[in-house]
């Protein structure tokens, strides 16, 4: 009778159950694996045979391994362990185990190597109420999933002895990281001057607003963008699990604390690396930055097709990757930070260097700013380079740390969370048009002022909505119930800052 063992395969960030059936019959030696295996699964034949040989389990004859369901593509080396267990049961080395999920790659000497997808596997095991046997190297990330019975497996021999009731395996103990954040480098205390940019980044963190930083080389754009991670609220339990799922699906280690992801993308990156794809449809940078920051430095150097490909995930909060093997949807709710030089040479408006661009070059450079992408930016900020004298004068001046700014951001986010049930949005950047009309709390003076300025600045409907969302965040930072004309004036300043003129 064929032995049946439960394994998994990955589709995106989801683990799907796979039934591993094995049968050994007499005849000339052959070892076939059927059920749409990829190259890595087919190569498991040699790894499994060598690992079993280490236990003096020799397999001869006609060996057939079926991976069901047969119409589901199977990929990766995580089916090595269940195939080996199925064959060991077929050879009567151990009795067929009870219902459980097995995953892991086998070394030739029988060691069980870590694989990607341990967290999705743990979540599948929890939903099916089955124990999970995972590689020892994946135990740390499996421990982050609540409510799953899991055991760490160092070697195939240890697992088979456990199934024979001759040895115990270590139980994986739940171990969630603390809610407090470790120190994040760089700190805003390292940023000299740039009070307007610091304030804009605080607003961006408080309301989850996309932001554009424009300034000369050496003005501190990259430093401040990196420091933004340290003033964002820590991930909640659900958000932490979302980011953990994505990291596990691509084989990245589990984060050590609740800090939000920060992904910096180089302008030479491919569309697949940013949006996701490949033969196994892995998530890209926009999904790895989910619930955190996606930083595009030298924004104007990115290819137009790549920028346009980001429009849909930024608007919808998810991205669907279609390939011949199928389609996968990944989450992509990110805070977008764009950084760019003011012109092609980089020195336009600089206090020390003179711009060398002609008027035609300036016009050509301005056209590199994607209009549809800029329409999704809430805050436009100019970041002027400081002179040596200003740097020396500010050198000994005490500056606000990221922890102090984060405390204000947390208070503002708390006010937004308290409104969540009523407005249907976690943060102000997600407020719908209906909620902007009904729930923003715009004072009469602010309404009159905004109406006059919107006509003067010729704001579009979308631009007006973004001003209202930013103004609501400014009011939350100030602890105000209603949005007054001062909050509106500051929000308008970030729309009409002249950074692209």
Q: What is the pLDDT of residue 457?
A: 86
Count of structural domains within the chain: 3
Q: How do residues 101-128 score in pLDDT, each as one tens digit?
A: 999 999 999 999 999 999 999 999 999 9
Mean residue pLDDT of the chain comes to 91
Q: What is the pLDDT of residue 253?
A: 86
Report residue 324 as tokens. 């011949």
Domain assignment of residue 153, yes or no:
yes
Same-domain status, 265 and 412? yes
Same-domain status, 399 and 450? no
Q: How many helices (DSSP H) and strands (DSSP E) are in the chain?
A: 22, 17
Same-domain status, 93 and 142? yes
pLDDT band at 499 (very low <50, low <70, confident <90, very high): low
Domain extent, residue 92, equals 3-171
Same-domain status, 414 and 429? no
Domain assignment of residue 316, yes or no:
yes
Domain assignment of residue 180, yes or no:
no
Average pLDDT over residues 249-275: 90
Q: What CA–CA distance (Å, rounded) separates 118 from 145?
A: 10
CATH for 259: 3.40.50.300
Q: What CA–CA distance (Å, rounded) separates 441 from 438?
A: 8
Q: What are phi and psi of 201, to 5 degrees?
A: -70, -35
Domain assignment of residue 176, yes or no:
no
Same-domain status, 19 and 127? yes
Same-domain status, 156 and 22? yes
Q: What is the pLDDT of residue 369?
A: 86
> For residues 57 and 22, is the Cβ–Cβ distance under 8 A?
no
Q: What are phi and psi of 450, to 5 degrees?
A: -65, -40
Q: How do residues 18-46 score in pLDDT, each as one tens digit?
A: 999 999 999 999 999 999 999 889 999 99
Domain assignment of residue 182, yes or no:
no
Whether 374 shows a pLDDT value over 90: the answer reads no
Tell me the HSE value of 484 on the side-chain side, using a 13 A CA sphere. 7
Q: How do residues 384-404 score in pLDDT, each as one tens digit?
A: 988 788 777 776 677 899 999
CATH for 491: 1.10.8
Same-domain status, 156 and 197? no
Using CB atoms within 10 Å of the CB of residue 10, give its burial: 0 to 12 exposed, 13 to 18 middle, 19+ buried. Answer: buried
Domain assignment of residue 483, yes or no:
yes
Which of 171, 198, 216 terminates a domain? The answer is 171
> For residues 355 and 348, is the Cβ–Cβ distance under 8 A?
yes
Q: How do residues 126-182 score in pLDDT, each as one tens digit?
A: 999 999 999 999 999 999 999 999 999 999 999 999 999 999 999 999 887 767 777
Same-domain status, 302 and 444? no
pTM assigned to the model: 0.91
**When comparing pLDDT for 161 and 326, which is higher?**
161
Which of 139, 171, 203 terminates a domain? The answer is 171
Same-domain status, 124 and 200? no
Q: What are the distances in angstroms from CA 71 to CA 18, 36, 201?
A: 11, 7, 49
pLDDT band at 484 (very low <50, low <70, confident <90, very high): very high
Using CB atoms within 10 Å of the CB of residue 324, give its burial: 0 to 12 exposed, 13 to 18 middle, 19+ buried. Answer: exposed
Which of 418, 438, 461 terminates a domain? The answer is 418
Same-domain status, 365 and 245? yes
The region that residue 459 occupies, defined by phi over 0 for left and psi between -120 and 50 for alpha, beta otherwise, is: beta
Domain assignment of residue 183, yes or no:
no
Same-domain status, 265 and 408? yes
Domain assignment of residue 178, yes or no:
no
Same-domain status, 437 and 494? yes
């Amino acid at each position: 009778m064929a032995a049946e063992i439960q394994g998994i395969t990955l589709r995106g960030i989801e683990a799907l159950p796979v039934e591993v059936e094995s049968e050994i019959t007499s005849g000339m030696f052959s070892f076939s694996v059927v059920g749409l295996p990829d190259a890595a699964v087919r190569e498991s034949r040699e790894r499994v045979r060598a690992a079993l040989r280490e236990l003096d389990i020799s397999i001869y004859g006609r060996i057939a391994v079926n991976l069901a369901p047969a119409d589901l593509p199977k990929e990766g080396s995580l089916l090595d362990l269940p195939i080996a267990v199925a064959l060991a049961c077929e050879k009567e080395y151990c009795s067929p185990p009870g219902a459980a999920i097995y995953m892991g790659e086998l070394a030739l000497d029988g060691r069980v190597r870590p694989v990607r997808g341990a967290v999705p596997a743990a979540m599948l095991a929890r939903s099916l109420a089955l124990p999970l046997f995972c590689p020892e190297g994946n135990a740390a990330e499996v421990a982050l999933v609540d409510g799953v019975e899991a055991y760490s497996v160092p070697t195939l021999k240890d697992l088979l002895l456990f199934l024979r009731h001759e040895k115990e395996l270590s139980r994986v103990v739940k171990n969630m990281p603390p809610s407090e954040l470790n120190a994040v480098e760089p700190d805003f205390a390292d940023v000299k001057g740039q009070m307007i940019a610091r304030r804009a980044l605080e607003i961006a963190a408080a309301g989850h607003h996309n932001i554009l930083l424009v300034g000369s080389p050496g003005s501190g754009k990259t430093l401040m963008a990196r420091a933004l991670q340290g003033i964002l609220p820590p991930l909640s339990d659900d958000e932490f699990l979302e980011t953990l799922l994505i990291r596990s699906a691509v084989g990245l280690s589990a984060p050590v604390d609740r800090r939000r992801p920060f992904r910096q993308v180089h302008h030479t990156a491919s569309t697949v690396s940013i949006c996701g794809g490949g033969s196994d449809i892995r998530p890209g940078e926009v999904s790895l930055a989910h619930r955190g920051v996606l930083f595009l430095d030298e924004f104007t150097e990115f290819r137009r097709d790549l920028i346009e490909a980001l429009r849909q995930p930024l608007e919808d909060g998810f991205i669907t990757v279609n390939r011949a093997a199928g389609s996968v949807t990944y989450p992509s709710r990110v805070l977008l930070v764009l950084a760019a030089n003011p012109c092609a040479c980089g020195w336009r408006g600089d206090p020390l260097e003179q711009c060398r661009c002609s008027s035609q070059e300036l016009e050509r450079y301005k056209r590199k700013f994607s209009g549809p992408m800029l329409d999704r930016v809430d805050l436009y900020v100019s970041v002027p380079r400081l002179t040596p004298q200003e740097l020396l004068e500010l050198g000994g001046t005490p500056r606000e740390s990221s922890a102090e700014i984060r405390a204000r951001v947390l208070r503002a986010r708390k006010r937004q969370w308290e409104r969540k049930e009523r407005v249907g949005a976690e943060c102000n950047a997600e407020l719908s048009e209906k909620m902007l009309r009904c729930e923003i709390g715009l004072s009469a003076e602010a309404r009159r002022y905004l109406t006059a300025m919107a006509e003067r600045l010729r704001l579009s409907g979308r631009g007006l909505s973004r001003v209202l969302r930013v103004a609501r965040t400014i009011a939350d930072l100030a602890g105000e119930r209603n949005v007054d004309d001062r909050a509106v004036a500051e929000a308008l300043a970030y729309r009409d800052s002249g950074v692209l003129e």
